[in-house]
Structure 1
Amino acid sequence: MSELPAKPDSDGFAKKIVETITGAIARIPTTEMTESPMPAEAARTIARQASLKAAAAAGTLGLPPGPLGWLTIIPEMMKVWQIQTQMVADLAGVYGQTACLSREQMTYCLFRHGAAMAVRDLVVRMGERYLVKQVSLQAFQAIAKKIGVKISQRALGKAFSRWVPVVGAVGVAGYAYFDTAQVAKTAIELFERGLEPFPDALGGREPGLLESRESPPSD
């Protein structure tokens, strides 16, 4: 009877995830989508198609059992994030928000539901609109590190499910579908209300001064 191998080194795994995150959102994807007269309907279609695509990709990469399955964790995340970033760009297109789509907003959309504390200062709600804060490369790397630690802990906690053929792949696919749907939900809420740059709109005030009044979108 074969034994389960030890989990990958958590620090090294988290570092690889941080590198994957920064690579995934280093360039905002272009989109062929243009502003739609019925953006909500178009957005639902985009979200559904992307969720199915992410589920299929993750499920396929989750098929190899045992140690081989663990080796696909990073490629799976990379592929799913690639699908999600394109989805967010397409959603921005149908809502006419392509011009304001930034690295910070993309990060918020992708990880708000899974690492809320790490991205909570990137987007702040003020009235009926959302303000997007632009951060330095150093600050962005610090945010990516926080996200990486959070995601790596969750991924390692579920790693043993990959030891079971087919069953593990089904679970991976299901989570990818759910995760992509949550990314779409966050993006749609932002695009529906509209976005503005943070510094000029607040006259230089810091995000923390606003959060006592209004917090980021709720789950």
Structure 2
Amino acid sequence: MTTQDVSIPVENSDDIIQNLQAQLAEKMFDLFDSVVIERRSYFAENPDKVPNEGSVDSIINSYSTKNASVSGALGLVPGPWGMVAVIPELLIVIRNQLAMIYDIGRAQGKSKVLTKELLAGIFVTAMGASAGSLLVLHGNKVLVKRVTLRVFQQIVSLLAGRVTQQALKSAISKWLPIVGAAAMATWSRWMTQQTGKKAKEIFSKDIEVSENPVEEDIKPIDVTATTIPTSTVAQADVIGKSGVDMAKIQTLINLMRVDGTVKPEEREYIKTILRNANLTSNEIAEIRQTLSVDKKFSVDYSAIEASPDDAIGLLVDLITLAKRDGTFHITEKMYIKQVGRLLGFSDSDIEETIVAIA
């Protein structure tokens, strides 16, 4: 199979991604209200099921496992077309994440302020983006802005774009048979866990909902605005998607060689990923040439550090490759932990991800 066999023409790719965003936005719009209504009704009919503060961690684990099961069942085909085909499953994952946020709010005694705006604000914040249009944080207090229908539509549209970015920028290995399902499951579990942790953090504060709806146009959701230095963002823009995938593949090749033995399964794994990566023909030729040479790459992780989605994707890819040959060597684990720390993951996050990938 050649690179052309699995790639989408550049002129069509943007249209497909925009179509995916539009479909997601249309279907996501009613999710927020429906989740609030459904969960409120459920707890009203089942008061004995109302969670308490001590159950928050189990709520997060339960929904994370549920979403991993949903994503693990996906049969993806390479590229944006594959994501368009699994919109129903993506919506299930999002609905579960919103229900989890609601349940955590109930567990932490915030039932009176559980509005669609609060759910959306936490959802946005969990993605690493600014939720200034919905949430205003003052020390230990959170002001939830009520917004008009038009403004909420804008927010959902931008959220759909952010979800699309996350899905497309996750693990390269998500496109691979069998292991791709494990990669998607792990990515979904991790993202749900991060959403739960952010919800737990916000619900620990005093929350107040504004009385009057706000009618103001919002700025595009910017994942970099409040969390990443401008210089790093600029560098990431220059490197681009090709540079991100190049860094990922260089890291994977380093891992492949770290135990001193390159197995046929590992070599085939790299070749398959090459066919699905966003690399130029020259970059692919360079990588293939180095596969036959005992050389360790010096990897620039700056672009990946600037993108949490790419970071967790690389971590998943590394673990998937290490377990590909059936033997998880100690040197491979040490290398994965080293890279994981460079990308900002804690040892516990890395261990959880290792365990999650069968």
Deviation per CA, 1:105-154: give whole Å up to 9, x if none: 1112222132613x332111223221111000101111112222232233
Q: Does 1:10 align with 2:17?
A: yes
Q: Which stretch shifts more, 101-110 or 3-12?
A: 3-12
Q: Does 1:82 align with 2:95?
A: yes
Matched ranges for 1:114-193 at <5 A: 114=127, 116-117=129-130, 119-158=131-170, 161-193=173-205
- Contact persistence 1:59–1:170 (CA under 8 A): yes
* Aligned counterpart for 2:105 among listed residues 83, 86, 92: 92
- Contact persistence 2:25–2:156 (CA under 8 A): yes
AA aligned to 2:183 is G
Describe the shift of the 1:123–1:150 C-alpha distance in structure 2 as closer, same or farther (beyond 3 A). Answer: same
- Partner SS, residue 25 of structure 1: helix
Give the Å deviation of 1:90: 1.4
- Contact persistence 2:25–2:157 (CA under 8 A): yes
Describe the shift of the 1:113–1:169 C-alpha distance in structure 2 as closer, same or farther (beyond 3 A). Answer: same
Query: Structure 1 length as normaliser, TM-score?
Result: 0.78
What is the CA–CA distance in structure 1 between the aligned matches of 2:166 and 2:142, rounded to whole Å?
29
Deviation per CA, 1:47-74: give whole Å up to 9, x if none: 11111111111111x2354588444431
* Stretches of structure 1 lacking an aligned partner (at least 5 in a row): 207-215
- Map of 2:68 onto structure 1: 55
Task: Flag as ranges the 4+ runs of structure 1 deviating above 6 A.
Answer: none
Q: What is the root-mean-square deviation in Å for CA atoms of aligned residues?
A: 2.9
Describe the shift of the 1:48–1:116 C-alpha distance in structure 2 as closer, same or farther (beyond 3 A). Answer: same
- Partner SS, residue 124 of structure 1: strand
Describe the shift of the 1:103–1:160 C-alpha distance in structure 2 as closer, same or farther (beyond 3 A). Answer: same
What is the CA–CA distance in structure 2 between the aligned matches of 1:35 and 1:114, rounded to whole Å?
25
What is the CA–CA distance in structure 2 between the aligned matches of 1:9 and 1:109, rounded to whole Å?
28
Give the Å deviation of 1:157: 4.1
Describe the shift of the 1:139–1:176 C-alpha distance in structure 2 as closer, same or farther (beyond 3 A). Answer: same
The number of aligned residues is 200
- Map of 1:19 onto structure 2: 26
What is the CA–CA distance in structure 1 between the aligned matches of 2:67 and 2:191, rounded to whole Å?
9
- Partner SS, residue 9 of structure 1: helix
Percent sequence identity is: 25
What is the CA–CA distance in structure 2 between the aligned matches of 1:57 and 1:104, rounded to whole Å?
26
AA aligned to 2:62 is Q
Matched ranges for 1:31-46 at <5 A: 31-32=42-43, 33-34=49-50, 36=52, 39=53, 41-46=54-59
AA aligned to 2:132 is R
* Stretches of structure 2 lacking an aligned partner (at least 5 in a row): 44-48, 217-225, 228-307, 309-358
What is the CA–CA distance in structure 2 between the aligned matches of 1:160 and 1:20, rounded to whole Å?
26
Greater length-normalized contact order (CA 8 Å, ≥ 6 residues apart): 1
Query: Structure 2 length as normaliser, TM-score?
Result: 0.50
- Partner SS, residue 131 of structure 1: strand
- Say which one has the larger Rg: 2
